[in-house]
Each structure stands twice: as C-alpha cells, then as structure tokens.
A and B are shown apart, each in its own frame.
Chain A
Amino acid sequence: MGAEEQNIKEFKLKPMKCELNFLSKSDGSAILSQGETVALASVNGPLDVKMQSQSIEKSTLEVLFCSKGGKPSVGDRYKENIIRQTCETAILSSLYPRTAITITIQELEDYGGFLSCCLNTACLALVNSGVAMRHVFAAVSCALDDRGNILLEPTQQQLETARATMNFVFDSRQKSLVTSFTEGAFSEDTYKEALARCRSASDLVFSFYRDIVTKYSKVIG
C-alpha cells in the first residue's frame, strides 16, 4: 500500500508503449499499451460518403469499436459515443466538408483503464493520419477504493473492489476538461480532488505523445 501511495504522489502512470503507422493500408494507425491494456486504432479519411450522412459544413466522424469477442453490445455503443464526442471536439472538421472520417478501434487486451487507453490510442492515430486538429487530448482514469483513496490508473483487481471509477479527458491547450465519465458514488470534494490529480497526470501523457512524435519525425526527412 505504501508503494502505491508513493506512486500517486509522484503521478506515476502505467508504462506506455506505442507504435505509430502499425497498419500499412489505413491513413493513420496506432497501437498503444498502457500497462497490460492494449488497444489498436486506425483512422481513415477524409473520405467520400453517401448523401444522407454527409454534412455540408463539416466532416462526419464515425467511430467503430470492436471488442475482443467480436459481438457488438450496448456497452460498446456507449463507448463509441464517448470516443466520438471527444474526438469531435479535437478534429477541425470544418476543413473537410462533405466527407467522413472513420476511426476503428480494436480491443486487444483489457486489464483495466480500457476506455482511457482507447481514447489515447485514437488520439495518436489521428495525429499519425495528419488530420487537422484543434488540440490533442489525453485520457486519465482513476478509481476510488473502499477507504476513500484515489488510485490513479487502477489495475484490474483494484477496479473490481473499487467504489467508483472516473475517466477524465483533457485538451492540450489549457488542460481544460473535455470529457468526464464516471461510475459509482462519490462526494463532490472527491471528484474535485480526482480531477486535479488526473489533470496533473495528463502532463505525462502529453509528454509521451511528444516523445513519440519526436521519434517518428526523425526518420521522416
């Protein structure tokens, strides 16, 4: 327990590993592992789209989520919605009117914090695809254990015993909150404290993004 409290103070996140351009055929793709949780995202677009779903002033964003079993469920639709709304705020869709941008996310391993991993992977894939964006975003999750401690980036076991789980997404400009997705019961003060901790932890995700882009921009002359 002592070690874990130490981690929270230093805002240590699970080790992140990433490969961009993982898929050769899609316009942009990224595979990201956060600890043992792994997600793969691919971005295609701006593409042609049929009349009824195209918008004359902005590009339509479509998010497809494939779980490991392959069977679509209501929970997956819900995740798609969260990811879509988060990405819509980030993408400058008015630059690509009458087109569609498709994001496909494949679950590979889920050992806790999967939604935030999906969001981070989607962001990296969008960065790789070269779609114009207003800002990048970073998702950080945390859990509230039964003693009221806030655990950043909880593991599977911690999630099973947790009273509440919270996911926050921040933009890179002012670190303002883009998406907040919570489950369970907690007080307002706890929410504020969790928000503040996740906001400071999002710096680590942003610097990770910068490292990845630095690594890839060296080879692209």
Chain B
Amino acid sequence: MQWETVIGLEIHVQLATKSKIFSGSSTAFGAEPNTQASAVDLALPGTLPVPNEQAFRYAILFGLAIDAEINKRSVFERKNYFYPDLPKGYQTTQLDKPIVGPGHVEVDLPDGSSKTVRIHHAHLEEDAGKSLHEDFHGMSGIDLNRAGTPLIEIVTEPDMRSSEEAVAFAKKLHSIVTSLGICDGDMSQGSMRFDVNISVRPVGQEEYGTRTETKNLNSFRFMERAIKLEVERQIDVIEDGGRIVQETRLYDGDKDLSRSMRSKEEANDYRYFPCPDLLPVVFEDDYIEALKEQMPELPDARKARFVAQYSLSDYDASILSADAATAQYFETVAEHAGDAKLSANWVMGELSGRLNSEDILIQNCPVSAKALGQLVLRVKDGTISSSGAKKVFGILWQGEQNDVDQIIDQEGLKQVSDTGALEAMVDEVLAGMPDQIAQYKAADEKKRKKLMGGFMGPLMKASKGQGNPKLFNEILQRKLNG
C-alpha cells in the first residue's frame, strides 16, 4: 500500500529579551545554577508577575512577519500540572486568546517548488526550569535559571507531507525569527525546540490517521531522522495488523532510537483557567502600526534584494540571506571587497566550512567580516593567489592578527605581477625544457591544455610560489602558441 505522511509542528522559540517574561531576572545562558532565579521565578508566596513588554513586541513582530491576525486583547491562562522544574504548579500560558492568530509561511522546497504552511496560532508562555537526573544521593537536582524565560509557542496546521518539507519549514522559521532579531536561533542551547506530530494514512484517504508526538527535537538533522524513523515505525505497525496508539515519544539522537514516553490516553488534564494574577493585555492599532514600521528586512525580501543588488544566483542568494547574521557578514565582506560573487564564494566556501567543522556560529567568528573583505579584495586585485589567500585566512582564523596586508607582507605571499620579471622567468624555465616544448607543439588543442600544467609547476617553483598564475598562463600561451 502507498502511504502518505502528515506532519504538524509545535515550535518553542525562546525570545531574546534581557529579562524574564514575568520577573526582572536575567535570561543570560550559562550562569551558575539558580543565580538567575528570583522570588517570582521560585514561586515564593506573595509574589506577583509583571509582564515584560518586549516579549509582546517580539510576539507581535512575529505575527506581522507571518501575515497573521494580532489579537489586540490577549489573556493568560494557567495550565496546571506538577513537576519540580515548574515551582508554581502551573505554567502561565495562553489558550483561547493567544497574542498571534492564524497566519502562514511560504516555504521553498528542495525540488524548487514552494508551499504554504498555515500557522494555527502562536502564543506567549514561560519556559520551565531544568531537572538534572544525575545521582544526588537518589534525588534530582533542579536549576530554575531558565524558569520564566519568555517563549512563543508556534503551532502549525498539519500541512507538511514529508520530513524534507518539515525541515524546510523549520529552517524557514529559524530564518524568520533570527531576521526579526527576536530569537538568537542557537539550537544547541535550546533556543528553538520542535515537537513533531506525525501520522500516516493510505494515499487518497481524507481522514487523518492516529498521530504520535515526538518531543523536544533541537536540531534539523535529528528532526529529519526522528520523522523518518517514526513514519517507518507507524507503517510497520499498521502493515503488521496493529494500530497506532496516541502517545508522546522521545527521540534519542545519539542512539537514533525513539521510545514511548507516556500514553495520551492517561494524559494530564491540565484544567486551564484564566490567570487571576494577570489582567487582559491590550494593544491599540497605532501600537501595532508602529511596530510594522520598525519591521526589519525579512528573508524573502532580502533574498530578492541579493539577487537584484549583487547579481547572485538564486541558490547563493537563498543561502546567504537565510539568517540575519550571515547576511550581514556577507554584505560587509562584499562592501570591502567590491566583488559580490567572489565574496559569496568565500563566505559560503572557506568560511562556512571552517565554521561548520569547528561548530562556531558566524556571530562568534574569529575572522571579522572587514578582514575577510580586505582579503577578498587582495585576491581580486591580484596581490595574492587563491592558495596564498587560504594561508592568510588560516592566520586570521587564529584570531591574533587582523591586518591582511601585514600578514601578506610578513608571509611573503605577494604575487609577482611585474610582467617583465615574469617573462624573464618563463624564458629561463622554457630554455631548460626543449623536449616538453616539442611535445606540446605536436599535441592537439585538447592535449595542449593538459600539457600546460607541466610548465606551470616549474614556473611556480622558480618564482617561489609568488608568480601570478594568471599572468604566467598568459605569457606561456603567447610564447608557446605564437
């Protein structure tokens, strides 16, 4: 039987505010346990929440970016459950009146087509703390630094039909929230976490199958694997005559396995009710209009601009425009280098490769965009060869030096572009290679190209690697073919 996969996502996005959603505690990552957990975050008796305006601004910006209705009046509810990393015994969240209503996101798919994914709504809520289950004398350790960090939870309609579509959507969403500057996008630190609802149904059937939810996926790769694994599992169960149980599953990326966490049939009854500690939050039209005007450039617009302004290919433009930090880095490089295509190649090639292999975000790149721009300029104007430039890049990467021209001098990488000097070198080298010259002259066009390499080696050696290869090539062509 042919099966169709149906996927819906719930995405938790940590908002990049300085302080928490209901208290003045810092949200900075990596502090000592519980040093950023105030009386409000600890739910000590007598404390009251005061909402952070910036969290609302960010949520509204997101809503505007996905062309959603903004609920001018939104209400907080209590979602009641017991877990030690939630000291109040309830999560303050939104249910009936979320800040962001229905919207949609356009996604470019790997096959070149595009697709609209509908957003059901997005609501504001607080993050929980963290439980550490290492052995503390048979007890669990609780760190409440993360408790109260503002989140928007974005809920999609079940509009995706494959893991590829789900990942393409997730990347687009990442691109939108980082471009808006409302989230740092650092998935390794949990800034974006995905819950994936998956079901399968026979192709042509309208009714959805029973779904399972795989929780807390924090990388695109894990998301893709977890979906593939779950789709295979569901099809196997059904084809073996079984039925799918609605349940929550956990995916272990290191082992590439998933297991059942709890069955939804015995799921919690959260007993939502309006939070009496918080009044309805109301925004006027002009507040929302003012935010609309502050809206930064979004990925789709930026991509179109990159194609128009820098004559980049669609592919290059979509990679360089995907996140705000990469886009800004590229534009600074291009501005200093005065050559967009060459700059694009360096940013997507040498730089991205190095960032990926060392797992560093471009925001923390040891090579400044200005320095890379200067380096690309020196490649462009012929001062150094591309192999010399790679050497300079390696030195810049060490982070101790950032003056490109100084590094070129100190490493003796300046190419000799003095035609007279180069010509003398060519004459000298050719004088010692009569056999090869004869062979070259006897060869056909195609073979000549290959034989040319045989002259370049000794020339580069004679110039101690500093001869301009392009000029060498021109001189050789002239002498051998003339």
A and B found bound together: no
A binding-site residues for B, Cβ under 8 Å: none
B binding-site residues for A, Cβ under 8 Å: none
